[in-house]
Amino acid sequence: MSDAATRIKSTITENNVVLFMKGTKEMPQCGFSSRVAGVLNYMGIDYSDVNVLADEDIRAGIKDFSDWPTIPQLYVKGEFVGGCDIITEMTLSGELDTLFEENGVAYNKEAADKIREANG
């Protein structure tokens, strides 16, 4: 396993929810990262953000690790969930709520409902 893969594995094992993104949750550097971080922030999710722009090894390594070509990438309890389109669909369908509930991740159900109402 490469150094990047080892660090990625460690990060997703040590944190319940991890978002590999361009920029940070406070200052996303691309629209797709901003959308996913916005959803997680709004829903009150306690998550770890990894800025792939700050580390070229992680930026390349995460795509190999997940076998997924784009960033952002969301992990819950060590499992790859998906990128921006998948997270958006899961949020609107309620699947993301279910995933968080099944994994014991606290979130604001009212905020999640508001996202669905606004996009319904």
The CA-based dihedral angle spanning residues 112, 82, 26, 9, taken in that order and rounded to the nearest 10 degrees: 130
Instruction: Cite the annotated binding site for [2Fe-2S] cluster by residue number.
Output: 30
pLDDT score, position 118 = 94
- In this prediction, residue 75 has a pLDDT band, given cuts at 50, 70 and 90, of very high
Question: Is the predicted pLDDT of residue 1 greater than 80, yes or no?
Answer: no
Across 18-34, average pLDDT: 98
Instruction: Cite the annotated binding site by residue number.
Output: 30
pLDDT score, position 23 = 98
Model confidence, pTM: 0.96
Cα dihedral across residues 101, 88, 115, 41: positive or negative: positive
> Residues 6 or more apart from 69 whose CB is under 8 A from it?
63
Residue 93 and residue 116 in contact, taking contact as beta carbons nearer than 8 Å: no
User: What domains lie within the chain, and their CATH numbers?
Assistant: 3-119 (3.40.30.10)
